[in-house]
Amino acid sequence: MSSVQITEGSVDVELCGKPLFYRQAVPGSGDVQLSVLLLHGIRFSSENWLKIGTLKTLAEAGHRAVAIDLPGLGHSKAAQAPAAVGELAPGAFLQQVCAGLQLGAVVLISPSLSGMYSLPFLLQHGADVKAYVPVAPICTDKITAEQYHSVQTPTLIVYGDQDTQLGEVSLSNLKNLPNHKVVVMKGAGHPCYLDDPETWHKALLDFLKTL
């Protein structure tokens, strides 16, 4: 197995005023199959993806994995959250992140709080999203069934079966996406990937192989 390089850095995002912190893992071979952007929930940061091995696992599978600290959180506390700038701002925010990191079309992994950014981005910039992996995100109820039906992006909906609130609410809305699969993680709560990293990594890699 080729060695994996994990680095840290910052990326300038105009809407945030200050740079965002990120962690990145790339295959040692330098050959990259997919670019994967990992977001996080309100109590979390990019460090979680480092600790449970998601960055390393993705890079070992041949992908470029980048986990950012969202504005106002983690090591990006000085960055301003773009939500207040206007309703198109959350989608434009992720477009600026992807451009700054030169990610191209991304696989977007979006748990919990990060749904406020990922869902507008998916609707406004669908051509920039190669695949979407929502993990019980918020804001799914702010989008109509018709809007969901218009999105053709391959989607893997993941949630823990102990997450009876956001997990089930988000599923009932996200299943309006026409090109989706569902993975229910048994015995796992809201941050299901933390409860069972092994099942999470297998589900994610199996899905990426289909792209």
Give the C-alpha separation, 113 to 139, whole Å: 8
Surface-to-core class of residue 46, CB atoms within 10 Å of its CB (0-12 exposed, 13-18 middle, 19+ buried): buried
User: Per the residue annotation, which of 110, 112, 114, 170 is the catalytic one?
Assistant: 112
Query: In what helix (H) or strand (E) does residue 66 lie, and over which residues does it extend?
Result: strand 64-68
User: Per the residue annotation, which of 190, 195, 196, 201 is the catalytic one?
Assistant: 190
Q: Active site includes 149?
A: no
User: Per the residue annotation, which of 69, 128, 163, 196 is the catalytic one?
Assistant: 163
Among candidates 144, 156, 160, which has minimal Cα distance to 197?
Answer: 160
The two three-digit tokens of residue 174, written as one number = 């996200």
Q: Active site includes 190?
A: yes
Q: Active site includes 112?
A: yes
Q: Which residues are catalytic?
A: 112, 163, 190
